[in-house]
Amino acid sequence: MCGRYATPDEAALERYWTIDRRSGNPLPERFNVAPSTLVPVLFRAEDGALELSAARWGLIPAWWTQAKLPSATINARSEEVAVKPMWRQSYRRSRCLMPARGWYEWRVRPGGESSGGRPGKQPYFIHATGSPVIAFAGLLAHWQAPDGAAVLSCALLTRAAAPAIADIHDRMPLVLSPADYEAWLAAEQRPEVLTRLLAGAREDFQGYPVSTRVNDPRNDFPELLEDLS
């Protein structure tokens, strides 16, 4: 599960990718991205250009017709992404990169309780050593709202946690190796290649405790990333 993460600013994205086109207004650096908000995504447009855009974090598949938007669509389990109706169309034809600095997970404090009597949780920021920018494997969908508005939305893939951070949480975002970015973005990609890309995801992560102020999605400032250890 990944329900919050931090995004780099556009200048950082330009240092890591040669962006051919931008659509929409530039998104600022964010330190506490929450579901349903706009996040930066990179994808190959029909003409082959690498496009930077803003997408709603929470996938709405193109075929969605209900008035109420789908829930729990920020994360797609990589183990079932090829077969589940919610994901499989985007997985086959519309993949993207979701740039990030890292993400947050919460670990239950041994013996500690919150004010409500439930186990207290300590938030951790998880990042890749030596990589200030990483890319989640993402899915993209173009949906038309009942009022005719075009909505671009996304979801990130998840997998079992890497050994170094498994004590924090048992799941993590699937982070692609830079060498695999182009293969992931290719419009027509063989299923066996996609399977290989998922299996070759990065595992070089570490986490450190951060302030519980990250629990409130209204808090969005650099101090949230400070290491409390």
Catalytic residues: 2, 105
User: What is the signed CA dihedral for 30, 35, 38, 39, rounded to 10 degrees?
Assistant: 60
Please give the single-letter amino acid code of residue 211.
Answer: S
| 3 state SS of 188 | coil
How far is the CA of 144 from the CAs of 147, 148, 150, in angstroms? 8, 6, 5
Q: Give the helix ranges, DSSP H, for the chain.
A: 10-16, 85-93, 181-185, 191-199
| 3 state SS of 146 | coil
User: What is the signed CA dihedral for 25, 26, 29, 34, rounded to 10 degrees?
Assistant: 40
- Give the C-alpha separation, 191 to 62, whole Å: 21
- Give the C-alpha separation, 7 to 2, whole Å: 14
How far is the CA of 174 from the CAs of 11, 79, 103, 146, in angstroms? 24, 11, 11, 33
The tokens for 68 are 């109420």
The tokens for 110 are 């041994």
- CA terminus-to-terminus distance, the chain: 23
